[in-house]
Amino acid sequence: MEKVLMLWENSGLYNLSVLQLIMIVVCLGLLYLAIAKKFEPLLLLPIGFAGILANVPEAGLALSAMEQAMYHFDANTMQAVANELGVALTATSDAGNKAILLDALKGVDDPAVRAKVSSLISAAGYSDGFLYTFYSLLVATGIAPLMIFLGVGAMTDFGPLLANPRTLFLGAAAQFGIFATVLGAVGLTALGVVDFSLGQAAAIGIIGGADGPTAIYVSSMLAPELLGAIAVAAYAYMALVPIVQPPIMRALTSEKERAIVMTQLRPVSKREKIIFPLAVLGLVALFLPAASPLLGMFCLGNLMRECGVVERLSDTAQNALINIVTIFLGLAVGSRLIADLFLTVETLGIMALGIVAFAIGTASGVIMAKIMNRLSKMPINPLIGAAGVSAVPMAARVANKVGLEANPQNFLLMHAMGPNVAGVIGSAVAAGVMIMYLG
């Protein structure tokens, strides 16, 4: 029966491409890392799962209606689209004609023509895949990363930072990883290895900020085509912090430096904790409006946490809301793991540059801490400089652990939380500069 044949010809097995198979294996690898190795599972699990869904052949869950029409390339529909666009499908292959159409679509600036094409596509029975819908509603608009930032703000305690504000410099220094990586990406392009634009280079650099939602937010604005690879790199390397950082930290410090005991943090009053997020907001408003969405939501979350009068909102931001958004964000980001977008030389470049960014950020933080230790009377253990890359609270724990190796009575955790949360502010500021410069 021809119907059984149709079933077979529509099956995944019949249509599975090698690239899709590779992507599915890659995504299974992400799931393995998330589940067995506990690599940032809250995001890598939904990302990996959605990555598999995005590569289910024929389902087109991560494609827009237009992309699906292009994929199936039904002759009649495509001829109608070509007529509307005023081009002739003169190529001998579907791939050639597809290129002609995509080219013509890019050149269209009359919204009436775009509406007509959409209408033709829709009439032919194509509609946006559900993962694509999540992506366009939640990530392309920036809403999901902002909501995550709200929740992260509500989970963040700035107490250690307020007790020792100088640690903000460590959070600043560690952002050098971001900008050095931008230069690296640009350099690789100059060498002809890959081909990154400045916007793409900036989005790759932000991986060095060690801050998932910031990386997603920036790359959704400056390089949406790289979002999948950048998000995967950011979360994977954040999980690798306990492996990547210690050798660098040990190489740059002496045993004696690592054993430095820091003076105990003073208690911080509630009033200071309430005013701090407002002070950050004020500075952002005055000096870097481009960072105001990210840092605004972060500060709102923190104000809700500290003010003590909206506990039910703070609880919701830390639990129900951030969890719901995390599920959708993971699915949306995973939808960008489509084989065509991910399996490129650029992805390898991103992975390589991302780890370099982490390493440079760590080193910069440590070196800055050593400099501050020289200049200041109050002792600073250089290990806490490494926590300036953010990756809250993993990097602070790493600093604590490496410190305990040198001096088993020296608990650095609280001291490292200062630069750790400073790093979040620092990378959001860096993100703002990039968006303003390139956006």
Chain residues binding other proteins by CB under 8 A are 1, 3-4, 7, 155-157, 159-163, 165-166, 168-169, 171-172, 175-176, 178-180, 182-183, 185-187, 189-190, 197-198, 201-202, 265, 267-273, 275-276, 279-280, 282-283, 287-288, 305, 311, 314-315, 318-319, 392-393, 414, 417, 421-422, 425-426, 429-430, 433-434, 437-438
Assigned token pair, 314: 């703070």
Note whether 284 binds its own copies by CB under 8 A: yes
Choice from 130, 155, 224, 261 touching its own copies (CB under 8 A): 130
Cα 222 to Cα 40, 142, 179, 201, 423, distances in angstroms? 24, 12, 15, 9, 21
Output the smallest distance, CB 52 to Na ion, in A. Answer: 24
| Closest CB to Na ion among residues 314, 364 | 364
Give the nearest distance from C-beta 4 to its own copies in angstroms: 11
Considering the complex, what minimum distance in angstroms separates the CB of residue 222 from other proteins?
11
Residue whose tokens read 């993962």: 131
Find which of its own copies, other proteins, Na ion, none residue 209 binds, CB within 5 to 8 Å per kind: Na ion
In sequence order, what are the residues at sequence separation of 6 or more whose Cβ sits closer than 8 angstroms to the Cβ of residue 217?
A: 142, 145, 146, 293, 294, 431
User: Shortest distance, CB of residue 249 to its own copies, whole angstroms?
Assistant: 27
Least distance (Å) between residue 267 CB and other proteins: 4
Among its own copies, Na ion, other proteins, none, residue 130 binds (CB under 5-8 Å by kind): its own copies
Size of the site for its own copies (CB under 8 A): 83
Cβ neighbours, 10 Å, residue 109: 7
Distance (Å, whole) CA 227 – CA 225: 6
Containing 155, the helix (H) or strand (E) segment is helix 143-155
Q: Which does 407 bind (CB under 5 to 8 A by kind): Na ion, other proteins, its own copies, none?
A: none
Contact call for residues 67 and 117 (beta carbons, < 8 A): no
Q: Are the beta carbons of 155 and 304 closer than 8 angstroms?
A: no
Q: Looking at 138, 146, 392, 399, which residue binds its own copies (CB under 8 A)?
A: 146
- Is 285 a binding residue for its own copies by CB under 8 A? The answer is yes
Q: Among residues 144, 170, 280, 304, which is the contact residue for its own copies, using CB under 8 A?
A: 304
Q: Name the one residue in this structure whose structure tokens are 């159409």.
A: 101
- Side chain identity at residue 72, one-letter code: H
Q: Which of the listed partners (its own copies, other proteins, Na ion, none) does 423 bind, with a CB threshold of 5 to 8 Å by partner kind? A: Na ion
C-alpha span between 423 and 161 (Å, rounded): 11
Q: Which does 61 bind (CB under 5 to 8 A by kind): other proteins, its own copies, Na ion, none?
A: its own copies
Amino acid at 257: E
Q: How far is the CB of 161 from its own copies (least distance, A)?
A: 20
- Nearest to residue 257, comparing CAs of 403, 376, 127? 403
Structure tokens, 225? 């085509």
Contact by Cβ (8 Å): 213, 391: no
Q: Which is nearer to its own copies, 126 or 237 (CB)?
A: 126
